[in-house]
Structure 1
Amino acid sequence: MTLTADYEQLFERAPCSYLVTDESWIVTAVNGTFLEWTGYTCDDVVGVPLPRLMSADDRLVHASRDVPRMQLTGAVSEVSVEIVDAHGQRRAALLTAVRSVQEDGSTEFRVIIFSAHERHQYELDLVAARRSAEESEARSIRAEAGLQYLALHDSLTSLPNRPGLAAILERELADRQPDVTIALLFVDLDHFKSVNDSLGHNAGDELLTIVAQRLSSSVRGTGTVARLAGDEFIVVEHVRSATDATVLAERLLEMVNRSMVIEGLEVVCSASIGIALADDETADPERLLRWADIAMYRAKARGRNTWEVHDPSEADPAVNRMRLLGELRHGIEDGQLRVHYQPRMNIATNIAIGVEALVRWEHPTRGLLQPGDFIDLAEESGLIRGLGAWVLDEAVQQGAQWNRASSGQAPVGMAVNLSPRQLVDPQLTGIVQAALARHSFDPSLLILEITETALMENPEMALKVLTALKALGVGLAIDDFGTGYASLTYLKHFPIDELKIDRSFVSGLGAGNGDYAIVSSCIQLAHAVGIRAVAEGVETDYQRSTLLTMGCDLAQGFHYSRPLAPDLLADWITARPPMSPEIAVELIAPEPDDDIEALAVV
Structure 2
Amino acid sequence: MLTPEASTKLFGPQKSAKFLDMLPIPAAIVVLTATGFGFEGINQAFRRAGLGVAAQSSPVIGLLGERIASFFGSDERSIEFDWAFGDAVDCRYFRVKIGRRTVDHVHKRALVTLIDNTSETRTENSLRREMMTDSLTGLPNRAGFTEQLETAIAQRSRAAFAVLSINLDRFSRVNACMGGLSGDELLISVARRMKGALRVGDVIARTGGDEFTILMAVDDGPSDALHVARRIEDSLIAPFRLSDFEIRVSCSIGIALGADQEGDAEELVRHAQFAVKRSKKTGRTEVYQTRAFDLARQEFGIETELRRAIDNGALRLAFQPICDLATGRIVAFEALSRWRTEQGVELSPSDFIPVAEESGLIVPLGRWAMAQAIETVAEWDRRTGGDCGVSVAVNLSAIQLQRDRVATMVGDILESHGVEGRRLTIELTESAIVADPDRTAHTIRALKELGTTLAMDDFGTGYSNLAYLQKLPIDVLKIDRSFVSGMLADRDKVAIVRAILSLAQALGMKTTAEGIETNELAQTLTALGCTYGQGYLYARPLPADQAFRLLSLSKN
**Which whole-Å CA distance do the structure 2 matches of 1:555 and 1:165 have between them?**
60
Matches within 5 A, 1:4-153: 151=137
The reply on whether 1:443 has 2:428 as its aligned counterpart is no
CA displacement at 1:231 relative to structure 2: 13
Hey, what's the Cα distance between the residues in 2 that align with 1:521 and 1:529?
12
Contact 1:181/1:277 (8 A) holds in 2: yes
Please tell me whether residue 552 in structure 1 is matched to residue 545 in structure 2.
no
Match of 2:398 in 1: 420
Q: Does 1:398 align with 2:383?
A: no
Are the equivalent residues in 1 in contact too, given 2:402–2:439 (CA < 8 A)? yes
Shift of 1:448: 1.7
Which residue is equivalent to 1:357? 335
Q: Distance in 2 between matches of 1:456 and 1:551?
A: 28
CA contact (8 A) 1:342 1:356 kept: yes
How far 1:338 sits from its partner (Å)?
Answer: 1.0
Who wins on radius of gyration, i.e. which is larger?
A: 1
Return the offset for 1:488.
1.7
Q: Give runs of aligned pairs for residues 374-393 of structure 1, distance below 5 A.
A: 374-393=352-371
Cα pair distance change 1:499/1:427, threshold 3 Å: same
How far apart, CA to CA, are the structure 1 residues paired with 2:223 and 2:422?
A: 60
Give the one of 435, 438, 447 matched to 1:469. 447
Q: Which runs of 5+ in 2 are unaligned?
A: 1-132, 178-196, 231-251
Match of 1:578 in 2: 555
Contact kept, 8 Å, 1:340 with 1:566, in 2: the verdict is: yes
**CA deviation string 1:373-405 (max 9, x = no partner):** 433343444443333222212111111222333
The code of the aligned residue for 1:434 comes to D
Q: For residues 256-288 of structure 1, give each alpha carbon's deviation from its aligned partner in whole angstroms, at most 9, with x where no partner exists.
A: xxxxxxxxxxxxxxxx99875432684777534
Q: What letter is aligned with 2:426?
A: L
The alignment status of 1:568 with 2:546, answered yes or no, reads yes
Confirm or deny that 1:279 pairs with 2:259: yes
Change (3 A) 1:498 1:150: farther
Partners in 2 of 1:513 and 1:236 — Cα distance? 56
The residue type paired with residue 384 of structure 2 is: S
Kindly tell me: are residues 386 and 408 of structure 1, through their superposed partners in 2, closer, same or farther at Cα, counting changes over 3 Å?
closer
Contact 2:394 2:425 in 1 (8 A): yes
Residue from 502, 518, 523 that aligns with 2:501: 523
The 1-side partners of 2:505 and 2:396 are apart by: 24
How many residue pairs get matched?
A: 387
Paired residue for 2:479, among 482, 492, 501? 501
Report if aligned partners of 1:321, 1:377 keep a CA contact under 8 Å in 2: yes
Tell me the distance in 2 between the aligned counterparts of 1:372 and 1:499. Answer: 22
Give the Cα separation in 1 of the matches to 2:363 and 2:511. Answer: 29
Are 1:456 and 2:434 counterparts? yes
d(CA) in 2 for partners of 1:279 and 1:385?
A: 41
Code of the residue aligned with 2:259 in structure 1: it is D
Counterpart CA distance in 2 for 1:305 and 1:507 is 35
Query: Runs of 5+ in structure 1 lacking a partner?
Result: 1-146, 154-160, 202-219, 252-271, 580-602
In structure 1, the residue corresponding to 2:374 is in which secondary structure? Answer: helix
CA distance in 2, matches of 1:236, 1:546: 63
The one-letter code of the counterpart of 1:311 is: T
- 233 and 571 in structure 1: CA distance in 2 versus 1, 3 angstrom threshold: farther
**What is the aligned-residue RMSD (CA, Å)?**
5.8
Structure 2 Cα separation of the partners of residues 514 and 237 of structure 1: 52
TM-aligned CA deviation for residue 498 of structure 1: 0.9
Does 2:463 correspond to 1:485? yes
The alignment's TM-score, normalised by the length of structure 2, stands at 0.52
Partner of 1:328: 306
CA separation in 1, counterparts of 2:198 and 2:262?
26
- C-alpha displacement of 1:368: 3.6
Q: How far did residue 224 of structure 1 move? A: 13
Partners of 1:241 and 1:281 lie apart in 2 by 17
2:289 is matched with: 310
1:287 counterpart letter in structure 2 = E
* 1:533, distance to aligned residue in structure 2 (A): 1.9
Distance across 2 between alignment mates of 1:169 and 1:513: 60
Matched position secondary structure for 1:436: helix
Q: 1:344 is matched with which residue?
A: 322
Distance in 1 (CA, whole Å) between partners of 2:442 and 2:255 is: 44
CA distance in 1, matches of 2:207, 2:515: 38
Contact 1:275–1:310, Cα closer than 8 Å, also in 2 = no
SS of structure 2 residue aligned to 1:374: helix
Q: Matches of 1:530 and 1:331 in 2, distance apart?
A: 41
Cα shift readout 1:124-157 (whole Å, capped 9, x = no counterpart)? xxxxxxxxxxxxxxxxxxxxxxx9898599xxxx
Q: Secondary structure at the match of 1:524?
A: helix
Residue 510 and residue 386 in structure 1: after superposition, are their counterparts in 2 closer, same or farther (change >3 A)? Answer: same
- For the 8 Å contact 2:363–2:403, the answer to whether it is kept is no
Which of structures 1 and 2 has the larger relative contact order (alpha carbons within 8 angstroms, sep 6+)? 1
Q: Secondary structure at the match of 2:533?
A: strand
> What amino acid maps onto 1:390 in structure 2?
W
Give the Cα separation in 2 of the matches to 1:315 and 1:152: 36
Asked if the contact 1:447–1:477 (Cα under 8 Å) also holds between the matched residues in 2, the reply is yes
Amino acid at match of 1:488: L
CA shift for structure 1 position 570: 2.6
**Identity of matched residues, %:** 38
Separation of aligned partners in 2, 1:243 and 1:233: 19
Q: Is the partner of 1:534 in helix, strand or coil? A: strand
Query: Paired residue for 1:432?
Result: 410
User: In the superposition, relative to structure 1, how do residues 436 and 283 fare at CA in structure 2: closer, same or farther (>3 Å)?
Assistant: closer
- How far residue 566 of structure 1 moved from its aligned partner, in angstroms, is 1.4
Compute the displacement of 1:542 (Å).
7.0
Q: How many angstroms apart in 1 are the aligned matches of 2:286 and 2:521?
A: 31
Aligned partner of residue 397 in structure 1, secondary structure? helix
Kept after mapping to 1: 8 A contact 2:159/2:257: no
Mark the CA change 1:452 to 1:312 in structure 2 (over 3 Å): closer, same or farther: closer
On the 8 A contact 2:366/2:400 being kept in 1, the answer is: no
TM-score normalised by L of structure 1: 0.49
Shift of 1:226: 13
Deviations 1:460-502 (A, max 9, x none): 2222221122112111122232344352222111011012233
Using a 3 Å threshold, how does the CA distance of structure 1 residues 176 and 451 change in structure 2: closer, same or farther? farther
What is the one-letter code of the residue matched to 2:440?
A: A
Cα deviation for residue 232 of structure 1 reads 11
Deviations along 1:421-441, whole A, 9 cap, x unmatched? 543568433322222122221
2:532 partner letter: L
Looking at structure 2, the residues matched to 523 and 306 of structure 1 have their Cα atoms a distance apart, in angstroms, of: 43
Farther-moved stretch of structure 1 (338-347 vs 228-237): 228-237
| Structure 2 counterpart of 1:469, one-letter code | L
Contact 1:227 1:233 in 2 (8 A): yes
Quote how far apart the aligned CAs of 1:241 are.
8.1
Map Cα deviations across residues 545-595 of structure 1 (whole Å, 9 max, x no partner).
6644543322323343221111222333344x339xxxxxxxxxxxxxxxx
Residues of 2 paired with 1:224 and 1:539: CA distance?
A: 61
Q: In structure 1, the residue corresponding to 2:456 is in which secondary structure?
A: strand
Give the structure 2 partner of residue 141 of structure 1. none
- The 5-angstrom pairing of residues 88-237 of structure 1 reads 151=137
Instruction: Kindly state the Cα deviation for residue 528 of structure 1 after the two structures are TM-superposed.
Output: 2.0
229-238 vs 417-426, greater mean Cα deviation: 229-238
In the alignment, the residues of structure 2 paired with residue 277 and residue 304 of structure 1 have an alpha-carbon distance, to the nearest angstrom, of 20
Q: How has the CA–CA distance of structure 1 residues 440 and 341 changed in structure 2, closer, same or farther, with 3 Å as cutoff?
A: same
Q: Is the 8 A contact 1:176 1:182 kept in 2?
A: no
